[in-house]
Structure 1
Amino acid sequence: MGRIKVHEFTTLDGVIGAPLWTLDYGFTDQLGAEIGGLMSSCTAILLGRTTFQEFAPAWSGRTAEDDPGAPFFNESPKYVVSGTLETADWNNSTIIGRYDADTIRGLKARVDGDLYVSGSGTLVRALLADGLLDELHLFVYPLAVGEGPRLFPANGPRRALSLAGCTGLDNGVVHLTYAPEAPVTG
């Protein structure tokens, strides 16, 4: 059975949406190596609709010469969680319908290797709630932006995570790896 490995860029105050602020810190070789390391066991990609619609045009025209991650994004099977998307024209993409925990469990069982998730905040929150997320990789940027969507909203449930790794990167970003634990009550 494959694992679900999530990668999120986030600010110190927890904002994950439209991370254009990452550009100020550069995409260094060390950052690339960290992301590449977490992707190395992944053989498929799982995305929410919004992230899929952002990634498809951004990645489909890139080659390995443009970006070493291009072959992974363009050639890997991609599974899109959406109840509204009617077509998924990006190479090897399949719409699996609205979020359903049993469908995701079946996908984890079917895929030979791990599933990689980037962005897709709504999907990731659901995976966490249903205990389907296996690794959470947060790349924490040293700034606060005040407003924007958060992975853990203020009114969300209390959640315990177990630190599995921590690496400071050369551009000031910290890579935190967590393994989710059962929700804490009280």
Structure 2
Amino acid sequence: MGTIDVHEFISLDGVVEDPSWTAEYGFTEAMGAAIGKLCDQAILLGRTTYEAFHPAWSERGDDVESGGAFFNGSPKHVVTSTLDDPLEWANATVLGGYDPTRIQELKDSVDGGIYVSGSVRLVRALLADGLVDTLNLFVYPVALGSGLRLFADGQQVPLRLLETEPFDNGVVRMTYGPPV
């Protein structure tokens, strides 16, 4: 059985929207290595993130260092009720609208990790249904004051801290798993 491993860039006040605000902090080699460990067998994305990732990653070809080899070569499963197969991005298929049973079947069908990035509405649903194995928050030392937050108002998600890793640029990776 596989795992679902979520990666999010997040501000101190929980904002995950349009991570262009992260650029001023740079991206360290250690951050790349930490994210690289999550990139295992498959990718699971919501429609909005798929539509942002497709043009950004497909242009990188099969370059290993940039991550293009993983993003372009891996099977990509898109949770959407508005797009139809065939999708333009190589190895991408429509999983259909959000259905926790279908996602559990996907998880059961792989031996490695399923990488999720962005896809806030999808991640909220996965967390609510107990389908996330690791939630990797790359916390930036800034409060943005407004923007889409990872957790919706009133959403309670019990988690257990598994690991922390500080980076030279002030970012801290906090990895959470389900409560014991």
Q: TM-score normalised to the size of structure 1?
A: 0.92
The correspondence of residues 19-34 of structure 1 with structure 2, limited to 5 A, is: 19-34=19-34
Indicate the residue corresponding to 2:51 in structure 1: 53
C-alpha separation in 2, matches of 1:174 and 1:128: 21
Identical aligned residues as a percent = 55
Map Cα deviations across residues 67-98 of structure 1 (whole Å, 9 max, x no partner). Answer: 43110000000000000012421010010100
| SS in structure 1 at match of 2:41 | strand
CA displacement 1:52-76 (0-9 Å, x = unmatched): 0000000001035584311000000
Matched, 1:107 2:120: no
**CA separation of 1:179 and 1:67: change in aligned 2, threshold 3 A:** same
How many angstroms apart in 2 are the aligned matches of 1:141 and 1:102? Answer: 34
RMSD of aligned Cα (Å): 1.4
Q: Following the alignment from structure 1 to structure 2, what is the Cα–Cα distance between the partners of residues 67 and 22? A: 20
DSSP-derived class of the 1:122 partner: helix
State the match for 2:120 in structure 1: 121
CA distance in structure 1 between the partners assigned to 2:74 and 2:157 by the alignment: 32
For structure 2, the 5+ residue unaligned runs are none
**Cα deviations by residue, 1:31-57 (Å, 9 ceiling, x for unpaired):** 111111232xx2000000000000000
Contact 1:16-1:148 within 8 A present in 2 as well? yes
| Cα drift, residue 117 of structure 1 | 0.2
The 4+ residue runs of structure 1 with deviation greater than 2 A are 63-68
Per the alignment, residue 38 of structure 1 pairs with 38
Q: SS in structure 2 opposite 1:59?
A: helix
**What is the aligned partner in structure 2 of residue 162 from structure 1?**
160
Q: Tell me the amino acid that sits aligned with residue 8 of structure 2.
A: E
Q: Give the SS at the match of 1:38.
A: coil
Q: Distance in 2 between matches of 1:152 and 1:180?
A: 16
Cα distance between partner residues in 1 of 2:110 and 2:99: 17
Q: Structure 2 vs 1, CA of residues 64 and 171 (structure 1 numbering), >3 Å: closer, same or farther?
A: farther
| TM-score, normalised with respect to structure 2 | 0.95
> Amino acid of the residue matched to residue 134 of structure 1?
D
Corresponding residue number in structure 2 for 1:140: 139
Whether contact under 8 Å (1:77, 1:93) holds in the other structure is: yes
Provide the C-alpha distance between the structure 2 equivalents of 1:22 and 1:66, rounded to a whole number of angstroms. Answer: 23
Does the CA-based 8 Å contact 2:5-2:38 persist in structure 1? yes
**Residue in structure 2 matched with residue 77 of structure 1 by the alignment:** 75
Of 62-71 and 87-96, more deviation after overlay is shown by: 62-71
Question: Given that residues 159 and 181 in structure 1 are in contact (C-alpha distance below 8 angstroms), is that contact kept between their aligned partners in structure 2?
Answer: no
Structure 2 counterpart SS, 1:6: strand
